[in-house]
Amino acid sequence: MERGRLQTTGLGRLAMLLGLAGIGGALGIVWWSGSGAAEAAAGAPATNGWKVLEPVTYENLSVFPVVGGPGADTSGFITLDEAMASGEAVVTEQGGEMIRRTRDGRPVPLIYPQGGGATVNRLVLINRSKRPLVLLAGEVVSGGKQDRVIAKDRIVAPEAEPLPLDVFCVEQGRWSAGSQFAAAKLMVHPSVREKAAVDQKQDEVWSAVRSGTTARNADPSAAPPRIAAYTLNETMMESGSAAYARIYDKSHVGQSVAAFAEEVDRRFRRATKGQTVVGVVVAYGGEVAWSDLFASGQLFERYWSKLVRSYSVEALTRAGSKEQASLADAREFLQPLKGRENVESEPGIYRWRQVTEGRYAEIELEALVPKSMKLHWMKVHRTS
């Protein structure tokens, strides 16, 4: 991981920008802060201050909304989709040309000097925005020589130097066309995201893409998945290369995913109307498998559309089940792990922390400037 690339002036600018955005006062409130008495009065005990609601269920998928207080002010951050759509962030193949503007607005071509030509597992990103850019493991960027998926959660400082970005391929059979990427507005589904974010191995990422789900089915009486692995692969191979993004295209598979996600979203919004939702715990049948929680309801809402579609793909590729996880199961899932810890950071910008314990892993992304704020926390029940 690259460290210490931001100059002192950049750190000062970041602190100033975040302060102007109104984050300074809110950052002192950790995202799970809340009144235990208030939660008890609401009729549901809190886990770390989070209140877990009854599940929104559809077929084999249960989504437990997690609600909290007002949370931190996260409007000072920009997401990958927002930044790429507006041109404030550019992602290119390593060795490709990038344009950076000077303070007086003049365009300056840049070629990232390290590493030579394009490679599968390394891209280059430049954040032109005046806001820090949030990247989440599992986000897809499309184009270039192959579609890729972000390998790790991280924060990119505003107006930072070109950044080498670790990625994994989610498209096989193509290594051609241009060097520029576009916002895919997609998150890979949990089986693939687990292999990228936790296992960090390209062959396992692609194996998960091909198989649809890496979860084992222990119930011989369970109904077969609505989308079989061979159907998934046929859909991805329609144009000669196996591209993950085709799962969401206007194919039979894409239509099934869209309809499933729309129904889950409809039920979810009806169940949470008037609530400040900061995240979800996700279960398939009786197995609590995943959680995504954010520093604020506003930040959660910015990711929800692609998250619900990713959970839906996983549900459609898993076997059907009449079992259902309980509210107690979901609350228990949010308990922090106490296993082996791995920490990486860019001083003064962010800290990334991963804890693994048995078949569980949790990953936490923390902004460091001007005060500590945990932007994203995810936990996974590993399938292997």
- pLDDT for 137-152, tens place per residue? 999 998 888 899 999 9
Note the pLDDT of residue 221: 72
Note the pLDDT of residue 260: 97
The two three-digit tokens of residue 59, written as one number: 């077929």
The two three-digit tokens of residue 241, written as one number: 């290369």
Mean pLDDT of the chain: 82
Nearest residue to 63 via CA among 375, 312, 361? 312
Sequence-distant (≥ 6) Cβ neighbours of residue 270 within 8 angstroms:
none
Cis peptide leading into 370, omega within 30 of 0? yes
Contact 312, 267 (CB under 8 A): no
CA 181/CA 90 separation, integer angstroms: 7
Amino acid residing at 344? E
Which ranges of the chain have pLDDT less than 70?
1-49, 95-118, 175, 177-179, 218-220, 239-241, 370
Nearest residue to 325 via CA among 381, 365, 250? 381
**H helix runs in the chain, sequence order:** 8-20, 23-26, 36-41, 80-86, 190-194, 202-211, 229-236, 252-271, 297-317, 327-333
Nearest residue to 62 via CA among 254, 257, 267, 228? 267
Sequence-distant (≥ 6) Cβ neighbours of residue 225 within 8 angstroms:
212, 213, 316, 317, 318, 319, 320
CA 148/CA 170 separation, integer angstroms: 5
Nearest residue to 135 via CA among 115, 162, 165? 165
Note the pLDDT of residue 25: 30
Residue 71 sits at φ, ψ, to 5 deg, of: 70, -170
Amino acid residing at 136? L
Contact 114, 142 (CB under 8 A): no
